[in-house]
C-alpha cells in the first residue's frame, strides 16, 4: 500500500476543500437574481447579453443590491468556515516559530489600535447602498468582487480595478474598502477583486482569478455606470505583483493572437503600490522577514516558475518586444522606509521598463512604510499625496472633475494621531 506524504495529503485536502467551496458557490449562484446570472462568468456569455442589458440600463436605475444582509451573513459564515479549515492546513506549512508568533501578536495589536477607523469603514461597507458586495465574476471559490459607486451616478464614471495585498495568504477584497469609499467620493467607481489565497490556491490561480475579475469589469462595468474606455488597474503589495502578472500575461496572449476575454488596450493606466516584481530578488528577503523560503516556493509553484511570475524578468525577454509596446502607461508608488518590500523593487522595475521602451514612472515617498501609504495616511484624513496623485491622473482629461477636486472638502480623520503613531511603531509589515 502506498502511503501519502504530508505534502500530498495537504494537496488532497486542499482540492477537496476547493471543490466543496466551488460547489457551494455554484449553488448560491443558482439562487441569485437573474441579472447576476446573466452578468456572471463566463465572459463570453456576459458579452453576448451585454447589448440587451445596456438597452435596459438606459431606462432603469442603478442595479439594486444583490444580497440581503442576512444572505451576506450566511455567505460570511461559509467563508469563515473555509478560511478556518485552510488556516489549519496553513499551520502545517508554517509550524510554530518565534518569528510567526511575534508577528501575529504585533498584527493583533496593530489592528486593535486602528480599530476606531476600521469600525467606521466596516459600518459603511455593510450598510451603504453605494457598496455592492460579493458580485460573482467566476466559477471558482472566492471569485467575487465589491463595487464602490459614487452618489452621483449620472454620466459615465472612470473605474479603478483594485487587487488587494496580503502576502498571497491573507488577501481579501474588503481590504480595499477604505480606498474604494474615498475614491467614490470623487466620482470614481472602484472594483475590489477577491481571489484565492494560499493554501487554497497558488500563484497561477491568483493570477487567473485576477484576470477573470478584470475581464468581468471590462465587459460589464457600463451596466453600473462605469466608462469602459476609462478603466485603470491598480494593485497593492502582493496585489501589485498579482495584477502586474495578469496584465503582462494578457499582453503576451494578445501579441500571440490567442483568444482573449479582455484587452490590454482597455486599461488606460496601471498603478503599482508597494509591490515586488522580481521573485528571484525577493525570496531571500521574505525568508528573513518570516515568510519562509519553503512556504514562498510553495506559493510560487517552485523556483522553476519564478521567471513566469517575475514581470521585471519577463519583459526583458527578446521575444516579448511586441508585448512591451502594447502595455499601458505604468506608474509605481513606493515608500522609502518600506521594509516588507524594499523600494528598490519598484526602482529597478521602472528602470527595466524604461530601458525596454515601456512608458513607466516612479513616485517615491520619503520615510513612508509599507502600510503608511495604504492605511495610516488615509485613516489620518486631510491631505494625502498618493490619493491626490491618483485622482489627478484619473481625472486628467476631465476638466469639470478637476474643478470639483479643487474645491473638494478635506477627508475626515478616522483615527486619533496617537493611535496612528503607536500602530506605526508596532506594525509587523
| Residue whose cell numbers read 472612470 | 158
CA distance 111 to 422: 11
Name the nearest CA neighbour of 306 among 240, 238, 245, 234.
Answer: 245
Any idea which residues carry the catalytic annotation? 237, 338, 370
Write out the three cell numbers for 194: 477577491
The DSSP bridge partners found for residue 419 are: none
The whole-angstrom separation of Cα 366 and Cα 332 is 14
Cell numbers placing 355: 530601458
- All cell numbers assigned to 291: 515568510
Provide the CB-side half-sphere exposure for 342 (13 A, CA): 14
Backbone angles phi, psi at 152, to 5 degrees: -95, 105
Q: Residue 401: how many CB atoms within 10 A of its CB?
A: 18
Task: For residue 233, give the nearest of 394, 32, 19 by alpha carbon.
Answer: 394
Distance CA 137, CA 63 (A): 16
DSSP string, 358-409: --EEEEEETT--TTIIIIIHHHH-B--HHHHHHHHHHTTT-HHHHHHHHTPP
Dihedral (CA of 329, 333, 336, 339) sign: negative
Say if CB 225 and CB 156 are below 8 A apart.
Answer: yes
Which residues lie closer than 8 Å to 316 by C-beta, 6 or more apart?
A: 352, 356
* DSSP for residue 417: H
Tell which residue, 370, 373, 378, 368, has the closest CA to residue 121: 378
Residue with cell 494537496: 11
Write the DSSP string, 184-208: HTTT-EEEEEP-PPTTT--HHHHHH
CB 266 within 8 A of CB 228: yes
Number of Cβ atoms within 10 Å of the Cβ of 366: 7
- Scanning the structure block, which residue is given the C-alpha cell 511603531? 425
Of the candidates 159, 328, 183, 178, the residue with the CA atom closest to the CA atom of residue 232: 159
Angstrom distance (rounded) from CA 31 to CA 36? 10
Amino acid at each position: 500500500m502506498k502511503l501519502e506524504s504530508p505534502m500530498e495529503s495537504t494537496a488532497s485536502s486542499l482540492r477537496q476543500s476547493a471543490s466543496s467551496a466551488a460547489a457551494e458557490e455554484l449553488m448560491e449562484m443558482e439562487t441569485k437574481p437573474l441579472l447576476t446570472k446573466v452578468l456572471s462568468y463566463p465572459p463570453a456569455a456576459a458579452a453576448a447579453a451585454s447589448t440587451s442589458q445596456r438597452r435596459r440600463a438606459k431606462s432603469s436605475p442603478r442595479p439594486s443590491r444583490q444580497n440581503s444582509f442576512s444572505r451576506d451573513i450566511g455567505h460570511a459564515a461559509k467563508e469563515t468556515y473555509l478560511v478556518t479549515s485552510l488556516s489549519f492546513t496553513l499551520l502545517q506549512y508554517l509550524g510554530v516559530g518565534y518569528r510567526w508568533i511575534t508577528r501575529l501578536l504585533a498584527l493583533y495589536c496593530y489592528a486593535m489600535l486602528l480599530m476606531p477607523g476600521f469600525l467606521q469603514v466596516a459600518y459603511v461597507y455593510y450598510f451603504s447602498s453605494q457598496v455592492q458586495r460579493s458580485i460573482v465574476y467566476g466559477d471558482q471559490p472566492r471569485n467575487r468582487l465589491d463595487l464602490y459607486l459614487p452618489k452621483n451616478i449620472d454620466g459615465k464614471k472612470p473605474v479603478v480595478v483594485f487587487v488587494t495585498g496580503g502576502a498571497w495568504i491573507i488577501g481579501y477584497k474588503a481590504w480595499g474598502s477604505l480606498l474604494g469609499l474615498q475614491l467614490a467620493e470623487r466620482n470614481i467607481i472602484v472594483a475590489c477583486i477577491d481571489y484565492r489565497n494560499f493554501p487554497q490556491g497558488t500563484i497561477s490561480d491568483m493570477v487567473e482569478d485576477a484576470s477573470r475579475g478584470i475581464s468581468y469589469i471590462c465587459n460589464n462595468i457600463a451596466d453600473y455606470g462605469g466608462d469602459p474606455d476609462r478603466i485603470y488597474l491598480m494593485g497593492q503589495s502582493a496585489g501589485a505583483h498579482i495584477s502586474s502578472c495578469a496584465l503582462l500575461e494578457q499582453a503576451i496572449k494578445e501579441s500571440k493572437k490567442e483568444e482573449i476575454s479582455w484587452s490590454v488596450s482597455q486599461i488606460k493606466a496601471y498603478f503599482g503600490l508597494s509591490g515586488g516584481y522580481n521573485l528571484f530578488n525577493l525570496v531571500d528577503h521574505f525568508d528573513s522577514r518570516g515568510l519562509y523560503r519553503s512556504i514562498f516556493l510553495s506559493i510560487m509553484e517552485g523556483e522553476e516558475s519564478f521567471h513566469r511570475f517575475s514581470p521585471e524578468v519577463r519583459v526583458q525577454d527578446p521575444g516579448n518586444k511586441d508585448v512591451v509596446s502594447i502595455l499601458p502607461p505604468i506608474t509605481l508608488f513606493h515608500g522609502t522606509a518600506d521594509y516588507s518590500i524594499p523600494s528598490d523593487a519598484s526602482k529597478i522595475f521602472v528602470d527595466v521598463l524604461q530601458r525596454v521602451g515601456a512608458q513607466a514612472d516612479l513616485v517615491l515617498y520619503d520615510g513612508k512604510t509599507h502600510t503608511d501609504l495604504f492605511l495610516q495616511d488615509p485613516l489620518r484624513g486631510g491631505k494625502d499625496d498618493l490619493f491626490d496623485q491618483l485622482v489627478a491622473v484619473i481625472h486628467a482629461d476631465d476638466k469639470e472633475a478637476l474643478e470639483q477636486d479643487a474645491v473638494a472638502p478635506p477627508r475626515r480623520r478616522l483615527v486619533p494621531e496617537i493611535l496612528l503613531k503607536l500602530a506605526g511603531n508596532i506594525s509587523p509589515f
